[in-house]
Structure 1
Amino acid sequence: MTRRFSDRTGRGGARNLASLSRRHFLQGTALLAAGAAFAPPLARAAAGDPVALRVTTRQLDIAGRSATVFGLQQPDGRPGLIARVGEDFAVRLENGLTDPTLVHWHGLTPPWREDGVPGISQDPLAPGAAQDYRFPLTRSGTFWMHSHLGLQEQQLLAAPLIVQEASPQDEQEVVLLLHDFSFRAPEEILAGLQAGTRGGPGMSMSGDGAWTMDHSSMDHGSMPGMSMDGGAMGSMTMSGGMTMDINDIEHDAYLANDRTLDDPELVAVERGGRVRLRIINGAASTGFTIDLGAVEGELIAVDGHAILPVKGRRFPIAIAQRLDIRLSLPADGSAVPVLALREGALQRAGVILQPPGAAVARIAPVGDVAAPVLDLAFERTLRSAAPLTPRPADRALTLALTGSMAGYRWGLAASSGAGPLTARDGERIEVALVNQTMMAHPMHLHGHMFQVVAIDGERLAGAVRDTVLVPPGRSVGIAFDADNPGRWAFHCHHMYHMAAGMMTTLAYEGIT
């Protein structure tokens, strides 16, 4: 059950949070999301027709203004998909737009030709056309789906994709999809970035390519060897005089399940119950810190892969990453805000977990103190519950992350030379991701899972992921098994960095 602060109607597609308990699941009750329901398990359709998933447009009320955005919905309006491990992913993708589109199943490892990347695995889906997908689901986890065509992802063409365990825990699941949103067209945003004139309202670029903005009243805090400036854009001066850019785009709103904190989602939960948060950072260009306030949570999975549990009240989440956090609600029946704090800035989004009768206080969408800047300190503490089988690497590569805000040009340079990265079926490959720029880059490899095996050259047996953040001037080593032949995208998941050149491919030998 979900509620909202206001009783106003006509939100035209505003979505409530996904929520499901195991006992309701076993009774066949559909998962709730945004006043509609997520899909029941795909097993019901696996033996016959696939589940229809339509790319469409919808209307949202964002900060008092009407916005036309995209959506991924079933015919009855239910957004996203729920499946069960061991079943088939059986979907018919229908393009209800007047423009071409294509959808990537982020975190899944489908056959190459079903990965949904134009120019690499599939052709774009023409308006009115449909495409069937069917492949086995071998791993449970929190995943998501989004357009990989042009800049459509910025216009909210994304939805949750949850693959549940064969025997789910007796706990309520709450799905939280984060977005950044602008009333400006994404093409206009990119053109402004490339011209060096429009990183956001009132923004200007200095000679070294750093955005500046006058927000002298903001309290940004500090880090050793660094000082904050640039206001909401959050540029940071590091030791040696170099300027790190935290945020290069100033969006109009930050959303949790399509809603701002001006009118947040109230998620009905049991007094003293147990909740599993499935949090997806679907933002195009924004990192967040998840803030549970006074409630301690237990992080149990990242990017759909189990880790040794880590307790805490704050958890960083880079662009495209996912967090599964288990928490026990207060015995006193008080409400629990779950906030997403915009990296290096004051804005925030979130939902409120509300037991029966709990009072709910309003939370402003802008806080008093800037949120933390994402780094590798937390990543260094994570350990996989199911690491890769130890073995020497058959191939070691270095991938330099290059570019700057000046001219807004970004790229990837491999030690193996120009062109795509190469792989042979069955190899263990290690890649050192070396960030030579002054912005962080969340790097995502399609079609594979990888383990973090080094940070700044120091070896470790870290988390298994599909997306890892590489902060400015830092390096992260990843290892993966080449066990899914094809040609796969490998790119920065900051959408505007990818569009400006930070993308390559991993091509298996013999694949044409």
Structure 2
Amino acid sequence: MFSRRAFLGGSLATCATSFACGQTSEPQPTILRLERRDIEVNGKAASILDIRQPGGMLGVETEVGKAFRVRVENHLSEPSLIHWHGLKPPWRQDGVPDISSPPFAPGESADYDFPLTFDGTFFMHSHQGLQEQLLMSAPLIIRDPQAPKQQEIIIELADFSFTPPEEIYAALRKPAMGVMSGMSMGAGMADMPDMKMGGDAKPDLNDVKYDAFLANRRTLADPEVTKVEAGGMALLRIINSSAMSAYHIDLGQIEGDLVAVDGHAVAPIRARRFPIAPAQRLDIGLIFPKGPGAYPILAILEGDRSQTGVILVAGDAEVRRAPELADQASAPIDFDLESRLRAEDPLAAQQADRVHRLELTGAMSGYQWSINGVAYTKDTPPLPVFAGERVELVFVNRTMMSHPMHLHGHFFQVVDINGERFAGAMRDTVLVPPKTTVTVAFDADNPGWWAMHCHLLYHMEAGMFTTIRYV
């Protein structure tokens, strides 16, 4: 059940509930506190939002087969609501304001309780306003207790600006925008003729010029350093919780095996570089060379030289600072990896009962983003779906910017890229590059009212958002 209660009014402190007093055989909920705190970025204090347990752990780490029994307490001075990205909760516990439930006010809490039937790398984040830009996100790791034990290294990527997100968004929406602190016109806005659809149009890669890129809340000026075993194994769980930024993960001198995307197993692919769009996750297995060594794991901003990351160290190896700029700008992300991914546990072969064609529309001029030419409002009707159907969503990108499209409450399988059918990866977020078409398939097996949107925060805010509803 989803519930709301005022926790600052003393209900928990006075043991008014069995959870607070421990007078029940059921396990107590994991407490998550929404709080504001300061970190240091580029030598300056930066105010961010956090999702932490009372003991300091960011997010939740649990096991498949257990209940997701969590109480979220709002210690902020503003309303909030948390979405469990990639999970399949009952609709009312999905955490989307005014669709699954209203946001809860300062001093209130919300309870969540639903079974966990799968393992993988997921995350949680605010779906309230622009709070996600203020780093209100955290890992959500579900482990298989039967899986072999190995070292795990969680890396959460984020983009950071000292400019308040409301100011970023307001500047983006101006019809004629100049460069300002915390902003970038981007390729398309700097050269408006290039935004015309067709011809030699150029893609726009990065709308916002960020002040820093973070890995586990730190820059490469003071990176997280983790000890690993020489000759041993480790699993990287990489989460891109950035509001707007995609990256290329660079493993440097080590080759890694990509074994899962968005929490779902894929046939392993070995490489030194892997792309990751906003809201996507990568699980990469590493085997370290014997003997001491230092191994930077870097995330290079798409189309840019900016990078962040962590340092893995085996033995007594010397740790050298990694530069915050790569030697050269990375390439735009395309379908090279996506077209090679194959699900280990694909959907059953079945014809689609229903197909929705979703044209991703809009332009950088005036920062207008939409689906099928309609910017979402509360009056936008949901897409029709019936329980039990196999549904295909055909994403047709008419714009000059990539859009990572996310469906709530379901997994989907990538089944077609630009007209080529294949049994691709199971995901919850797929990147649709400019002028391309991607088809995904899902089973309508979780009734409710579900959000579907571009996971670029300011695109979603501008209207590239819709819903699916069925009973």
| TM-score of the aligned structures, taking structure 1 as reference length | 0.83
In the alignment, what sits opposite 2:314?
355
Q: Quick check: 1:481 aligned with 2:437?
A: no
User: Which amino acid in 1 is paired with 2:340?
Assistant: T
Q: Which residue in the other structure is 2:190 paired with?
A: 212
CA shift, 1:49, in A, is: 1.9
Cα offset, 1:205, TM superposition: 4.9
SS in 1 for 2:203: strand
Paired residues for 1:53-92 under 5 Å? 53-92=32-71
Residue matched to 1:127: 106
**Aligned match of 1:190:** 169
CA distance in 2, matches of 1:303, 1:503: 20
Alpha-carbon distance, 1:422 to partner: 1.5
Match of 2:143 in 1: 164
1:360 & 1:493 partners in 2: Cα distance? 36
- After TM superposition, the score normalised by the length of structure 2 is 0.90
2:453 is aligned to 491
Name the CA distance, whole Å, in 1 between partners of 2:396 and 2:71: 39
- Correspondence 1:435 to 2:435: no
Q: Show the counterpart of 1:243.
A: 202
Counterparts of 1:255 and 1:406, CA distance in 2: 29
What is the distance in 1 between the residues matched to 2:320 and 2:105? 47
- Distance, in Å, in 2 between the alignment partners of 1:244 and 1:267 is 37
Give the Cα–Cα distance (whole angstroms) in 2 for the partners of residues 271 and 204 of structure 1.
43
Q: Distance in 2 between matches of 1:252 and 1:81?
A: 28
- In 2, the alpha carbon distance for the partners of 1:86 and 1:165 equals 9
The alignment-based identity, stated in percent, is 51
Q: Which residue of the partner structure matches residue 365 of structure 1?
A: 324
Tell me, in whole angstroms, the C-alpha distance in 2 between the residues paired with 1:46 and 1:210.
59
Q: Distance in 2 between matches of 1:199 and 1:439?
A: 19
Mapped pair 1:173 → 2:152: yes
1:399–1:414 contact (8 Å) kept in structure 2: no
Q: What is the CA distance between 1:76 and its match in structure 2?
A: 1.8
Which of the residues 273, 278, 284 maps onto 2:243?
284
Q: 1:120 to 1:203 in 2, by over 3 A?
A: closer
Q: From the superposition, tell whether residues 46 and 472 of structure 1 become closer, same or farther in structure 2 (CA, over 3 Å).
A: farther
C-alpha distance after superposition, 1:396-448 (max 9, x if no partner): 11000000000001001289xx6221111100001100000111000000000
Distance in 1, matches of 2:69 and 2:182, equals: 47
- Distance in 1, matches of 2:91 and 2:184, equals 42
Question: Which amino acid letter does the alignment assign opposite residue 401 of structure 2?
Answer: M
What is the alpha-carbon distance in structure 2 between the residues aligned to residue 204 and residue 506 of structure 1?
34
Output the CA distance in 2 between the equivalents of 1:201 and 1:349: 21
Distance change >3 Å, CA 170–CA 199, structure 1 → 2: farther
- Counting only pairs closer than 5 Å after superposition, residues 388-467 of structure 1 correspond to structure 2 as 388-413=347-372, 419-467=381-429
Partner deviation per Cα, 1:25-73 (whole Å, 9 max, x = no partner): xxxxxxxxxxxxxxxxxxxx99232111010011100010001100001
1:102 aligned residue: 81
Q: Does 1:51 pair with 2:25?
A: no
CA contact (8 A) 1:143 1:161 kept: yes
Q: 1:166 to 1:204 in 2, by over 3 A?
A: closer
The one-letter code of the counterpart of 1:481 is D
Confirm whether residue 337 of structure 1 aligns to residue 296 of structure 2: yes
Distance, in Å, in 1 between the alignment partners of 2:185 and 2:447 is 43
Question: Is the Cα–Cα contact under 8 Å of residues 197 and 398 in structure 2 kept in the other structure?
Answer: no
Partner of 1:267: 226
2:177 is matched by which residue type in structure 1?
T
Distance verdict in 2 for CA 1:272–1:187, change over 3 Å: same
Judge conservation of contact 1:189–1:198 (CA < 8 Å) in 2.
no
Q: CA deviation at 1:211?
A: 3.0
Task: Tell me if the contact between 2:177 and 2:185 (Cα under 8 Å) persists in the aligned partners.
Answer: yes
Contact 2:168 2:183 (8 Å CA) reproduced: no
**In structure 2, what is the equivalent of residue 40 of structure 1?**
none
8 Å contact kept, 2:240–2:276: yes
User: Hey, what's the Cα distance between the residues in 2 that align with 1:414 and 1:480?
Assistant: 24
Residue of structure 2 in register with 1:346 after alignment: 305
- Partner amino acid, structure 1, of 2:233: R
CA deviation after TM superposition for structure 1 residue 451, in Å: 0.1
- 1:221 is aligned to none
- Among candidates 200, 211, 216, match of residue 252 of structure 1: 211
Q: Is the 8 A contact 1:120 1:488 kept in 2?
A: yes
Distance across 1 between alignment mates of 2:250 and 2:197? 26
Q: Is the 8 A contact 2:230 2:290 kept in 1?
A: yes
Query: Is the 8 Å Cα contact of residues 163 and 181 (structure 2) preserved in structure 1?
Result: no
State how far apart, in whole Å, the 2-side matches of 1:237 and 1:360 are: 48
Q: Distance in 2 between matches of 1:289 and 1:434?
A: 24
Query: Partner amino acid for 2:459?
Result: H
Alignment-derived partner of residue 34 in structure 1: none
| Unmatched 5+ stretches in structure 2 | 1-23, 375-379
Q: Deviation string for 1:232-279 (max 9, x for gaps)? A: xxx999982213101111000000000000111110111111000000
Paired residue for 1:469, among 431, 446, 449? 431
The separation in 2 between residues aligned to 1:193 and 1:468, in whole angstroms, is: 24
More deviation in 474-483 or 237-246?
237-246
Instruction: Decide whether the 8 Å contact of 1:111 with 1:135 is kept in 2.
Output: yes
CA contact (8 A) 2:84 2:94 kept: yes
Q: Secondary structure at the match of 1:191?
A: helix
Q: Matches of 1:360 and 1:52 in 2, distance apart?
A: 36
Moved more, 240-249 or 150-159: 240-249
Is the CA contact (8 Å cut-off) linking 1:452 and 1:465 kept in structure 2? yes
Secondary structure of 1:162's partner? strand
Quote the Cα distance in structure 2 between the aligned partners of 1:113 and 1:350.
Answer: 36
Pairwise mapping of residues 284-303 of structure 1 onto structure 2 (< 5 A)?
Answer: 284-303=243-262
Q: CA contact under 8 A between 1:450 and 1:466: conserved in structure 2?
A: yes
Q: 2-side partners of 1:48 and 1:320: how far apart?
A: 31
Alignment check: 8 A CA contact 1:199 1:250 kept: no
Q: Is the deviation greater in 89-98 or in 327-336?
A: 327-336
CA RMSD of aligned residues (A): 2.2
Distance 1:256 1:205, change over 3 A: closer
**CA–CA distance in structure 2, aligned partners of residues 367 and 95 of structure 1:** 39
Return the alpha-carbon distance in structure 1 between the equivalents of residues 467 and 131 of structure 2: 21
Asked whether the equivalents of residues 197 and 400 of structure 2 are also in contact (C-alpha less than 8 Å), the reply is: no
